[in-house]
Structure 1
Amino acid sequence: MMMEKMRLNKYLSSQGVCSRREADRYIEAGKVYVNGHAADMGEKVDGTEEIIFDGQPVGWENTKKVLLAMNKPKGIVCSSKEKDNIVDYLNYPERVYPVGRLDKDSTGLILLTNDGELMNEILKARNYHEKEYEVRVSRRITADFIRGMSQGVFLEELGVKTRPCKVKKVDAYTFRIILTQGLNRQIRRMCAYFDFRVVTLKRIRILNILLGDLPEGQWREVTGRELKELKGGMSHE
């Protein structure tokens, strides 16, 4: 299918292959070929070329864009390069990729899609997209803990202070937290700062998409009003 020429990284993203940033890394590593030659950074394509990404052909034959919501079980990783990864576990008939990550020991809501542009919009840190988690910790929650978590915590190992966030106590050992950033193992690191250990961590919401009563290990397609609200919310940012 021929179209207006676009940068190769944008093309790969629009195909749901990976994000633009990841595409640039693969191109730089010599793992992307266009019509038999190693792709150049910034090269433009129109969809008629033979494009090989990390040994696999890429094309416009699958035009339907899908967004899936899944309740990730514990022990499943989000990196497609590791064993027991979420893409293999899901075994969806189309090639889809996780939108962001949820660490191996955590459970709950994760989105997967073949729509690279939608993936990029959801992942943009500057958009302050909300993600909500329910967390159980190893000892009784105090008012000082709730206050400290909500004000932001300097994570020395990452060299960054977390953004202020909303934290609400649920019971003696459980709280809910709404983040607008996704630092590596952020909640676990924040809790450790106050000498709390995370026992269970479950993501229950991403933007307007709710985990609800979706069984662990199961998935559903995000469609209709839910998808429209998701895209509409991002278009106004």
Structure 2
Amino acid sequence: MADPDSLIDAPPAKRLNKYIAETGFCSRREADRLVAERRVTVNGEVAGIGTQVEEGDEVRIDGDVLRVRKVKPGKRRHVYIALNKPVGITCTTEESVKGNIVDFVGHEQRIFPIGRLDKDSEGLILLTSNGDIVNQVLRKENRHEKEYLVAVNKPVTEEFLRGMARGGMWIHGQQTLPCRAYKHGPYGFRIVLTQGLNRQIRLMAAQFGYRVKQLRRIRIDNLKLGELKPGRWRNLTDAELRGLLPEQTEW
């Protein structure tokens, strides 16, 4: 029997999906999928949803041991980058998809996007090796602001802008929330959303008879695209991370 005193400083057990995500292998959601497909074992036993992992346990995925990343003192545990995504790049981690965003960035660590931008859209998107924070950042109740510049096929009117900003349109079975929309040239507008429905701006505009010709995301909360050139990426600063991540998140 273990000495009770030796257990005082033992780290608490973690849910398996959290443990996998913290290694940077994949997000929690992806980890749950791997577990459901019986591709994960803990100490030689096939794991189940909700399995707890303690220090010293051996976790394997498809037979390969999952390694916990060693962090040097003073170094960040995870990667957080901002990419100016070009048109034609798909926001998926699936290696079978030509032009997937992970291969495009080509980072030495395993990373995945936080949210998405349509293949035919461009601009700011965040990627990280910290799968544990992806769902936290994307939670609906957080309502992160996302700002876009949009070019359309006919002159932008005040009536159109009021309609876009009003909300209440049905898209994918959900109603759009009120937002802010401003004219940006004769054929363009700027819009600030707190939702992230698939192809939301394009579908909203279509309900008023407009077709989106170009869509660029220029801001996510306190993070701005700035002078970052298309196809280039940069590491987020400490100040940007403090404004983006939930409190007490380990970087």
With the length of structure 2 as denominator, give the TM-score of the two structures. 0.85
Match of 1:120 in 2: 135
Matches within 5 A, 1:177-188: 177-188=191-202
Gap runs ≥5 in structure 2:
1-9, 72-76
Match of 2:84 in 1: 71
Q: CA deviation at 1:194?
A: 1.0
- Residues 52 and 58, structure 1, Cα contact 8 Å, conserved in 2: yes
Q: CA deviation at 1:219?
A: 0.4
Amino acid aligned to 1:48: G
Match of 1:223 in 2: 237
- Residues 28 and 132, structure 2, Cα contact 8 Å, conserved in 1: no
- Residues 134 and 175, structure 1, Cα contact 8 Å, conserved in 2: yes
Mean alpha-carbon deviation: is it higher for 170-179 or for 18-27? 18-27
Amino acid aligned to 2:235: E
> What is the percentage of aligned positions where both structures have the same residue?
47
Q: Work out whether 1:136 is the aligned partner of 2:144.
A: no
Q: CA deviation at 1:94?
A: 0.9
For residues 57 and 103 of structure 2, the distance between their equivalents in structure 1, rounded to whole angstroms, comes to: 28
Q: CA deviation at 1:74?
A: 0.7
Q: CA deviation at 1:192?
A: 1.0
Matches within 5 A, 1:79-118: 79-81=92-94, 82-118=97-133
Q: CA deviation at 1:28?
A: 1.4
Match of 1:161 in 2: 175
Q: Work out whether 1:26 is the aligned partner of 2:39.
A: no
Instruction: Give 3-state SS (helix, strand or coil) of 2:132's partner.
Output: helix
* Coordinate RMSD, CA, aligned: 2.0
With the length of structure 1 as denominator, give the TM-score of the two structures. 0.90
Mean alpha-carbon deviation: is it higher for 60-69 or for 158-167? 60-69
Could you say which structure has the larger radius of gyration? 2
Instruction: Give 3-state SS (helix, strand or coil) of 1:102's partner.
Output: coil
Give the 4+ runs in structure 1 shifted more than 4 A.
54-57
For residues 190 and 65 of structure 2, the distance between their equivalents in structure 1, rounded to whole angstroms, comes to: 43
- Residues 16 and 97, structure 1, Cα contact 8 Å, conserved in 2: no
Query: Between Structure 1 and Structure 2, how many residues are aligned?
Result: 232
